[in-house]
């Protein structure tokens, strides 16, 4: 997949919170191919546990919004309590305006609509991590 579309990671760690197993595995594979370390969670409850346990090494959170056990809004609020300026990408098949309704959720987050291309995801990650390509 490395076709010049992006630079490689410097070993950053991404928390990937996605309830769709196939999608999560696909995203993990793409991100690992580009050198990112991935911590996975299949729902919001596990996502906050992984974030709390690994917050000192997580550089970015990539999370779905509609998930079982704890939705994206609640997960994001809990992440913000632990790390107010965490870098977060919210992903959904719904419109960003519908998904990110209140200002508390919008603050310091980026949105990517599903389905998205690997190139678009990698570009957004690089922007948030401060890599200009």
Q: Residue ranges per domain, the chain?
A: 13-128
Among 19-33, 39-53, 95-109, 117-131, which is the least confidently predicted range? 95-109
Query: Would you state the pLDDT for residue 107?
Result: 58
Domain 13-128 has CATH 3.40.50.2300: yes
* Sequence-ordered list of residues with C-beta below 8 angstroms from that of 30, at least 6 positions apart, any chain: 1, 118, 121, 122
Q: Cα-atom radius of gyration of the chain, to the nearest Å?
A: 14
Query: Would you state the pLDDT for residue 130?
Result: 86
Q: What is the pLDDT of residues 25-59, one digit of tens each?
A: 999 999 999 999 999 999 999 999 999 999 999 99
- The closest of 41, 39, 35 to 17, measured between CA atoms, is 41
């Amino acid at each position: 997949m490395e076709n010049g579309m992006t630079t490689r990671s410097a070993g950053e760690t991404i928390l990937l919170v996605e309830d769709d197993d196939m999608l999560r595995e696909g995203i993990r594979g793409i991100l690992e191919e580009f050198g990112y370390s991935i911590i996975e969670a299949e729902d919001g409850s596990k996502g906050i546990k992984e974030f709390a346990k690994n917050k000192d090494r997580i550089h970015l959170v990539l999370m779905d919004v509609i998930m079982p056990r704890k939705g994206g809004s609640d997960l994001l609020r809990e992440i913000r309590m632990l790390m107010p300026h965490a870098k977060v990408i919210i992903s959904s098949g719904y419109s960003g305006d519908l998904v990110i309704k209140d200002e508390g959720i919008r603050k310091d987050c980026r949105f990517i609509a599903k389905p998205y291309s690997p190139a678009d995801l990698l570009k957004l990650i690089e922007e948030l991590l401060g890599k200009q390509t």
